[in-house]
């Protein structure tokens, strides 16, 4: 999507990793942004972002980096949102739009309300449903969000103009933009995104620590690789997800434990009909879901 009327004179990206770097790259490819200021603790990563043209300059001080910004993107681990907001709160220009990319929206909203004492009207919580196992500026890809969903979770206080601008920004990247209440968002993604990551990590950990675990890895093949692909994701990010979306994720794990217990019982009892019914139902629903996802 191209929109010549859309332009961000100065964008500050706090956290120039896969998501923050990819958004900067996408906006630059559309000539929809002027100066991009990158912020982070890792100088090597910031230099990579500079060398790749994702950013125009960098600064390790968030407070200094947001001065003069028209839009500020928070692309740091979600549990650090409060810390970052506290550092930039008194330096953010009054008309600047603030948005984020965290996968847990209630945590982000609560952090904003804690630091500001209210929900800032120019803060638009957002979550791009895109990613890869690789992280950092080296993995940034201008096409990362193409045909992927971005979920916005505005609050009643959210400024309509700011919401419209953030929506248009993500649409420019080729994303499909939708809206959800924050609580609904967190429950949905606890079950469909956070739980699968926990299961992938848990399976690798189980085999690693099991008797003859090394032997398991020697003979593991395609099915294991497919199922555990996401266990190669950033451990820091997923540690924070586990802690910051605790209640919905615990509920999802509990629900899965019940199904796993049912599966264990059917295998133990030799219940061929029960196993077939569960597997056929799961296959049918997954096939339907895959078909609907086709462009």
For residues 60 and 87, the answer to whether their CB atoms sit within 8 Å is no
Q: Distance between CA atoms of 116 and 88, rounded to whole angstroms?
A: 11
pLDDT tens, position by position, for the chain (295 residues)? 445 679 999 999 999 999 999 999 999 999 999 999 999 999 999 999 999 999 999 999 999 999 999 999 999 988 899 999 999 999 999 999 999 999 999 999 999 999 999 999 999 999 999 876 677 899 999 999 999 999 999 999 999 999 999 999 999 999 999 999 999 999 999 999 999 999 999 999 999 999 877 788 888 999 999 999 999 988 988 898 999 999 999 999 999 999 999 999 999 999 999 999 999 999 999 999 998 876 5
Q: Distance between CA atoms of 107 and 79, rounded to whole angstroms?
A: 8
**Domains assigned to the chain:** 8-180 (3.40.50.720), 185-293 (1.10.3660.10)
Return the DSSP state at 147. T
pTM (predicted TM-score): 0.86
Q: Distance between CA atoms of 242 and 237, rounded to whole angstroms?
A: 9
């Amino acid at each position: 999507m191209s929109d010549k009327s859309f332009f961000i004179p100065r964008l500050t990206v706090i956290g120039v990793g896969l998501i923050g770097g990819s958004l900067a790259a996408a906006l630059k490819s559309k000539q929809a942004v002027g100066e991009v200021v990158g912020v982070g603790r890792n100088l090597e990563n910031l230099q990579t972002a500079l060398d790749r043209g994702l950013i125009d300059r960098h600064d390790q001080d968030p407070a200094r980096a947001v001065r003069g910004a028209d839009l500020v993107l928070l692309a740091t681990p979600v549990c650090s949102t409060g810390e970052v907001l506290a550092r930039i709160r008194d330096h953010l220009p009054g008309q600047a739009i603030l948005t984020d990319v965290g996968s847990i929206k209630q945590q982000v909203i609560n952090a904003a309300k804690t630091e500001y004492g209210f929900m800032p009207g120019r803060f638009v919580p957002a979550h791009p449903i895109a990613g890869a196992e690789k992280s950092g500026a080296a993995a940034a890809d201008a096409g990362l969000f193409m045909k992927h969903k971005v979920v916005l979770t505005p609050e009643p206080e959210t400024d309509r103009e700011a919401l419209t601008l953030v929506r248009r920004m993500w649409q420019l990247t080729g994303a499909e933009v939708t809206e959800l209440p924050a609580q609904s968002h967190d429950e949905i993604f606890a079950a469909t995104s956070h739980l699968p990551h926990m299961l992938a990590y848990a399976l690798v950990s189980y085999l690693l620590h099991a008797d003859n675990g090394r032997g398991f890895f020697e003979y593991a093949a395609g099915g294991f690789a497919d199922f555990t692909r996401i266990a190669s994701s950033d451990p820091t990010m997923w540690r924070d997800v586990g802690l910051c979306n605790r209640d919905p994720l615990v509920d999802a794990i509990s629900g899965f434990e019940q199904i796993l217990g049912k599966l264990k019982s059917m295998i133990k009892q030799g219940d061929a009909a029960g196993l077939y019914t569960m597997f056929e139902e799961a296959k049918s629903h997954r096939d339907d879901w895959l078909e609907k996802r086709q462009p």
